[in-house]
Amino acid sequence: MFKFDKLVFGDAGWGDEFLIATLMTLLVSILSMGLGLFLAILTVWAKIIQNRITRFIANFYTTVIRGVPELLVIYLIFFGGNAVVMSIAKVFGYNKYIELNALTIATIAIALISATYSSEVLRASYLSISKGQLEAAKALGLNKFSIFFKVISPQVIRHALPGIGNVWQITLKDTSLISVTGLVEIMRQTRISSNVEHSPLTFLVTAAILYLCLTTISGRVFKSLEVNYSKGFTA
Amino acid sequence: MIEFINNIQNSLIYKNFFLVLSGLDNTLLLLLISLPIGFILALLFALGRVSKITFLSRTIASYIFVIRGTPLLVQIYLIYFGLGSVKFIRESFLWYALKEPFWCGVIALTINTVAYGAEIFRGGIQSIEKSQVESGLSLGFGKFLLLRKIILPIAIRKVLPSYGNELILMVKATSLVSLTTYMEMTGIARKIMAKTFAPVEAFIAAGILYLFLNFLMVQFVKYLEWKYNPHLRLNN
């Protein structure tokens, strides 16, 4: 039933392959979380400036992506992404075939999903900053950049950290779906190994334990970050 | 005008839309079985989680921890590929359910939603003010009556928005069951794509249907919120 002896490192087992796969999962999660946060800031900005067009685009984007299964988004980017990139390249006069590699596609797809969740978190924490603070900053004569970096960001980060931690967990678990694109992360490695060894239970349990470790450890990291950022605010 | 309508009717998205629509009943079937069972079990698990029996509470806590810490895809694969590879399960009565991708999907989705739902309901139960429980006790309510008349109605009403979120996540989660060869909407969309080599048209048709399904779910939750929060209605 279980063949845990197949998990040793080296040529006899799959230990090192799984280690690399775990690092790949982490890499994709971190990259797409970063890109997602950047997109989320853009989305929040588009929603809070008083412009109907940008607000409509941002609302449309978040509603559609959050209403459609993650798997569909990934399929759409994986199978349709190349065509989009090539048609954009054609506008700039580049006619050769372009193929995005699996890591890029995975990062973009997961980032698009994670950005919608992050944007809700960031928007809520932006709205929780009292108006008086912005007025006070303006009255002190701070320019827009100083207001953003010295007044808004520190408070948004503190308010948003618990929510961002949740989004990180979702993002980490969503990376299991990109195994359909052929990128060798934990889930793909599980399928490969179990096909070779004819023991899916062993490797699926391994994958579950690996994901559990990743979520637990990163949960601890976010907890300590929260403690660090709320210094002076807890009794 | 007629030409325009003909153009639409000949377009790939229009044709795919009806092909994908034929998978709607399979998606709904998954939801119609796993959501009600999940709701009831989640309530029971939440009650066990807040109970004073340490063993029960700890067991449920670790169940929730494991399920929420692993991706749904791992759980589906574990049940479909993992359990199917064990010899004594293949020879037992469980095999009647586990050999069907549909029942594997139902079991995995139920297990998943119970963990998330139990955590949501626990929050609701623990947020009930003590005075309300005490007033129930002072009226001479027994444990069961207290649960039925005070704790559960207030808790469920409070967590309706977040449980609604979970319901929408479940609608989206059904698409993962397509990876176990079960032909619901995503599975059919993938089949269309493999046939026509037109990925965007196939997946957009499926996406529109999922959006519509989620829209209905949001309206349903809004209706429930309206119905069970009569004191918050503006005009009555």
CB spacing of A200 vs B86 below 8 angstroms: no
Q: Inter-chain contact B85–A200, Cβ cutoff 8 Å?
A: yes
Residue of chain A with shortest Cα separation from B185: A72
pLDDT band at B235 (very low <50, low <70, confident <90, very high): low
Residues from chain B contacting residue A176 (CB–CB below 8 Å): 71, 73-74
Same domain, B47 and B60: yes
Q: Do B71 and A71 touch (CB under 8 A)?
A: no
* Of the residues B154, B179, B204, the one at which a domain ends: B179
Q: Write the pLDDT tens digit of every residue in B114-163.
A: 999 999 999 999 999 889 989 999 999 988 899 898 999 999 999 999 99
Check: CB of residue B62 under 8 Å from CB of residue B54. no
Q: A216: how many CB neighbours lie within 10 A of its CB?
A: 12
- Average pLDDT of chain B? 90
Taking the domains of chain A in order of start, what are their residue ranges?
A: 4-229
Indicate the range of A117-126, B26-35, B39-48, B81-90 predicted with least confidence: B81-90
Contact B73 A177 (CB under 8 A): yes
Check whether residue B11 and residue B113 sit in a common domain: no
ipTM passes above 0.95: no
User: Cβ B86–A1 below 8 Å, yes or no?
Assistant: yes
Regarding whether B211 and B123 lie in a shared domain, the answer is no
**pLDDT tens string B67-103:** 999 999 999 999 998 888 888 888 888 888 888 899 9
CATH topology of domain A4-229: MetI-like fold (1.10.3720)
Angle between helices A102-127 and A70-91 (to 10 degrees): 110
pLDDT at A22 over 90: yes
Q: How much is the pLDDT for A199?
A: 84
Mutate to test the interface with B, among A61, A76, A87, A178 (most CBs of B within 10 A): A76
* Residue B107 vs residues B77, B215, B235: alpha-carbon distances, Å: 11, 25, 43
Q: Which residues of B touch A (CB under 8 A)?
A: 66, 68-75, 77-78, 81-87, 168, 171-176, 178-179, 186, 189-190, 193, 199-200, 203-204, 206-207, 210-211, 214-215
Angstroms from B110 CA to nearest CA on chain A: 18
> How far, CA to CA in Å, does A41 sit from each of A96, B37, B234?
34, 39, 35
Count up the domains in chain B and report the number: 2
pLDDT in tens, A121-177: 999 999 888 888 889 998 999 988 888 888 888 888 888 999 999 999 999 999 999
For CA atoms A7, A13, A15, A18, the dihedral sign is negative
Sign of the Cα pseudo-torsion (B62, B65, B67, B73, in order): negative
- Judged against a pLDDT cut of 60, whether residue A235 lies above it is answered with no
Q: What is the CA radius of gyration of chain B?
A: 22
Tell whether A192 is within 8 A of chain B (Cβ). no
Cα separation, B10 vs B121, in Å, equals 49
Q: What is the pLDDT of residues A56-114, one digit of tens each?
A: 999 999 999 999 999 999 998 888 887 788 888 888 877 777 777 889 889 999 999 99
Residues B11 and B83 in one domain: no
pLDDT for B35: 95
**Structure-block tokens of residue B49:** 């989680």
Domain span at residue B5? Answer: 1-23+183-236
How far does A148 lie from chain B, in Å, by closest CA? Answer: 32
- Across the interface, whether the CB atoms of A67 and B214 are under 8 A apart is answered yes
Is B84 in the same domain as B120? yes
Per-residue tokens: B5: 């309508």
Task: Please check whether residue A98 is in contact with residue A85, taking contact to mean a CB–CB distance below 8 angstroms.
Answer: yes
- The tokens describing B41, both together, are 């079990």
Amino acid at A174: D
Q: B236 pLDDT band (50/70/90 cuts)?
A: low
Average pLDDT score over chain A: 89
pTM, two decimal places: 0.89
Last residue within a domain, chosen from B136, B164, B179: B179
The type of residue at B150 is I
Would you call A217 an interface residue with chain B, using a CB distance cutoff of 8 Å? no
- Closest CA of chain A from B131, distance in Å: 26
Question: Which of B112, B203, B215 should we substitute to test contact with A (largest number of A Cβ atoms within 10 Å)?
Answer: B203
DSSP states of B72-123: HHHHHHIIIIIGGG-HHHHHSTTHHHHTSHHHHHHHHHHHHHHHHHHHHHHH
Q: B72–A216: do the CB atoms touch at under 8 Å?
A: no
